[in-house]
Amino acid sequence: MKNVLAFLFLFLTFNLTSQTWSPLPNAPNFIGPFSKLDDTHFINANMGWTVNGSGDVYKTEDGGDTWNNLTNLNTFLRCIKFANESVGYAASLDGAFAGTSGAPKMLKTIDGGNTWTDLTASMSPLPVGICGINVLDEQTVYAVGAYYSPARFYKSTDGGATWENKDMSAYANALVDLHFFDANLGFAVGANNNGGAILKTVNGGTTWSIVYEIPTGSLLWKIQALDNNNLYVSIAGTSIAEGARILISNDAGVNWDVKQVAPGEAHLQGVGFLDQDHGFAGGFFDGVYETLDGGDSWQLMNVGANFNRFQKISDDLMYASGHTVYKYSSTLSTPDTGEIIPNPLYSMDVYPNPVSDILNIKYQLPDYTHVNLSIYDIMGRKVISIFDGWHTEGEFNITKSIKELPSGTYLVGLLSREGDVLTKISVSH
């Protein structure tokens, strides 16, 4: 009964205050590789930074009302974290993902982001890409990467002058994000040969253990620690049958529960909770999903797109990066729904339809991106895999025999990091 009353209270509160996520009208947005701001970090309610794949660093000092483009670091910036108003760290991916030849970098600022020092040379062997940073203080920094192989863990206790560079292949072949509670206790998320994987260390990263695996091809993407006991991890799955899902632990990472956020959605990226009941999740799709009952049920809020990082500031204040920077606050009015989110310039044409023998698939990709092209049954289960991997830009026309498929209705799916296209076909022999 207590949980029911709590849910009713939150439901009524939600309807009285209306939706309270809003795109910040003066914040940067990003149309380029992956079409999102990959990270944002606030050190308090007012001061924060965000980065994009072109190497731009932006800063706000008034809660996101205005933003200053501090510099361009000429690298695919993936993550950014600050210890205080002055000292912060940022890191990047291989520039090939942004169409450049730039190598991955680890960078540091001591003046709030105006100027940066390249620390990469001290990380031998050089990183292949860094996806996540965790900063305990000015001197203690942890990082992991990349979401493509190999997986490595980086640690500095002297402000980036020297680094421990650990091969993590015994535990994972990809790492995306991490969270340390203190100098010893930390978690990292990614994937290994068995599927998505959550790793834990109790000695500052010297040794690790696998505490959870989800037996699919999914990659775990972001981790949020609400407190010492309540942990949340997003699953960057590509299965429209399994849908968008997250993992929740309420016992400090000992046990984990899978919660489905939205059936039929793929490419979930970010997750963030304000308390044990009230949380959000989003990814490479329009809108953000909200739960008021700890993840058991979700409803779509028609605000924003391409959500990636959620950061809780207080019980009623949260920021998120996606197509732009978004703010959740009880002081906001009904959110501005005039945000312009350009549709990705890709398309797919499937013919003939109905089809009995050979299916032609013509598609266009504007950028180098990750693509999964498959045929699914009407329940969303993959029955034929045509292509799965990194794909060059351009126009393509391929053929596929569907003789082995029984007559019926199917879906042809072009799933990319920027969104999905699904076309229904009829197979008749």
For 36-65, what is each residue's pLDDT tens digit?
A: 899 999 999 999 999 998 899 999 999 999
Instruction: State the sign of the Cα–Cα–Cα–Cα dihedral 391, 214, 225, 182.
Output: negative
pLDDT of residue 311 exceeding 80, the answer is yes
* CATH 2.130.10.10 domain locations along the chain: 2-329
Q: What is the DSSP string of 164-218?
A: EEEE-TTT-SEEEEEEESSSS-EEEEEEETTEEEEEEESSTTSS-EEEEEESSS-
Contacts of 201 (CB under 8 A, 6+ apart): 184, 185, 186, 187, 188, 207, 208, 209
Among 87-96, 139-148, 294-303, the least confident range: 87-96
pLDDT at 274 > cutoff 50: yes
Q: 418 or 153, which is more confident?
A: 153
Question: Bigger pLDDT: 42 or 341?
Answer: 42
Residue identified by tokens 């072949």 is 173
Is the pLDDT at 136 greater than 80? The verdict is: yes
Cβ atoms of 221 and 215 closer than 8 Å: no
Percentage above 70 pLDDT, the chain: 89
Distance CA 281, CA 232 (A): 10
Question: Which class is domain 2-329?
Answer: mainly beta
CATH 2.60.40.3080 range(s) for the chain read 347-427
- The yes-or-no verdict on residue 305 having pLDDT over 50 is yes
pLDDT higher than 80, residue 7: no
Rounded-to-integer distance, Cα 298 and Cα 283, Å: 14
Is pLDDT above 70 for 228?
A: yes
Q: What is the mean pLDDT of the chain?
A: 88
Mean pLDDT of 396-421: 86
State pLDDT tens for residues 139-173. 999 999 999 889 999 999 999 999 999 999 999 99
Residue 218: band (very low, low, confident or very high) from pLDDT cuts 50, 70, 90: confident
CA 193 from centroid of its chain's CA atoms: 20
pLDDT above 60: residue 208 = yes
Is there a contact between 236 and 270 (Cβ–Cβ < 8 Å)?
Answer: no
**Choices 3.60.20.10, 2.40.50.140, 2.60.40.3080, 3.40.50.300: CATH for 347-427:** 2.60.40.3080
Could you tell me which residues come within 8 angstroms of residue 129 by beta carbon, excluding any fewer than 6 positions away? Answer: 78, 92, 93, 94, 104, 145, 146, 147, 148
φ and ψ at residue 2, rounded to 5 degrees? -60, -45
Quote the pLDDT of residue 333: 52
Q: How far apart are CA 345 and CA 374, in angstroms?
A: 20
2-11, 339-348, 417-426: lowest mean pLDDT where? 2-11
